[in-house]
Amino acid sequence: MVRLRSTGLGKTEIQAHITSLRPDGDLLILEMQTTKPVRWHIRTGLQPEDRLGLVKCLFRLNFKLLKFLFNWNPKKGKHPEPSDF
């Protein structure tokens, strides 16, 4: 599940599931289906310069993320609310 927020919706949290990730020309298309509180189809197009920035951010992440990824269990406990989310 992906958790999203938009300044246009205040503090409302939107929950979505990624449905597709595919190349289309020079774009990388990411599609999501929101489930709560509304049902929307969201499609984003990542340009080459955006993808490079995303890869750079991933490389800058520390070992906490690696620990999270390798110990991930979606059925284990509650997910804490990040303070800046």
Q: What is the C-alpha separation between 72 and 69, in angstroms, rounded? A: 5
Residue 40 has phi, psi (to 5 degrees) of: -125, 155
Q: What is the C-alpha separation between 18 and 69, in angstroms, rounded? A: 17
35 band by pLDDT with thresholds 50, 70 and 90 = very high
- pLDDT of the residue at 72: 59
In contact, 19 and 33? CB cutoff 8 Å:
yes
Residue 60 has phi, psi (to 5 degrees) of: -80, -10
- pLDDT of the residue at 9: 81
Least-confidence region, from 7-11, 14-18, 80-84: 80-84
